[in-house]
Amino acid sequence: MVLNTNFFPTLLFIGVIGVLINIHLLRRKMAFFLTKVDNQTLNLKKELIEMDKQQQVIYNLSTSIFLLRGVKEIISSTISEIVVMYHWSDVAYFPYGQLEVERSFYGQHPKYSAEEVAALLKQGTGTDIINSERSGQYLSVFGVGGDGRALGGLYVGKKEGPLTEGQVTFFKTVASFLTVAIDNIQALKEQ
């Protein structure tokens, strides 16, 4: 069988066109991957910045714990750190069993009444966190106090959805910090 050499240019032409199409498709896929990886990195960075802020708040609180001498000072300092450093405005502290609270002192913009939070606290005695949802808003109350004694509750509101795992860990740490700090101050006063 004799090979017809006239076919070579046509074959070459078809081959190169095929390669060109493949490269083009590869580049489109690559662009998609690049955007995907870029977005993932951006999300990780956002999370990292949030974690940084959380750690900064805990660091600031731990350094101020021995400088502040009153329960009110500790609470207002904690709330200010969360509002200013962490940029979280829906946060408040409600002492257990006390319904009439000074809003300006205990929190920035509480969306729930003191009665509601107190009811939630009562319902959740002995638990770390209580979650509830109302008209698209999410409320979490972190119990402050231990050893069977409820001292109060740290109210945290979020519009976008329930708290993430990292946010729950952070607010639990803050609640535990408040327990230790308030307990220590009260014990010092008793002495």
Partner 1 sequence: MSTTLIVGILLIGAALWELIPLLQDLYNLRLLTLKQKQTAKLLLQKKNQGIFLNRLYKSADDYQPKEVRTVQLLDDLEYSLGWKRLAYLDFLEDEQAIIFRVTKGLPQKYLDFVHEVYHDRIDIGSLAGGRAISTKQPLIVNNWTQDPHLKHISFMSEYGHVISFGAFPIVSSLTTYGSLHVYGGSAGMFKLNEVQFFTTVANSLAAILEHDEFCYERR
Task: List interacting residues with partner 1 (CB under 8 A).
Answer: 9, 12-13, 16-17, 19-20, 23-24, 26-27, 30-31, 33-34, 37-38, 40-41, 44-45, 47-48, 51-52, 54-56, 58-59, 62-63, 65-66, 146-147, 166, 169-170, 172-173, 176-177, 179-181, 183-184, 187-188
**CB closer to partner 1 out of 27 and 122:** 27
**What distance in Å separates the CA atoms of residue 51 and residue 147, rounded to the nearest whole number?**
29
HEC assignment per residue over 97-141: CCCCCCHHHHECCCCCCHHHHHHHHHHCCCCCEEEEEECCEEEEE
Q: Which residues pair with 133 in a beta bridge?
A: 138
Residue 142 main-chain phi, psi, to 5 deg: -105, 120
**CB closer to partner 1 out of 114 and 154:** 154
Please report how the helices 7-64 and 165-190 are oriented relative to each other, as an axis angle in degrees rounded to 10. Answer: 10
The nearest distance, CB 23 to partner 1, in angstroms, is 4
The nearest distance, CB 115 to partner 1, in angstroms, is 28
Burial class (CB in 10 A: 0-12, 13-18, 19+), 168: middle
**CB closer to partner 1 out of 37 and 119:** 37
**CB closer to partner 1 out of 112 and 179:** 179
**CB closer to partner 1 out of 51 and 119:** 51
The nearest distance, CB 95 to partner 1, in angstroms, is 19
**What distance in Å separates the CA atoms of residue 166 and residue 158, rounded to the nearest whole number?**
14
The nearest distance, CB 116 to partner 1, in angstroms, is 27
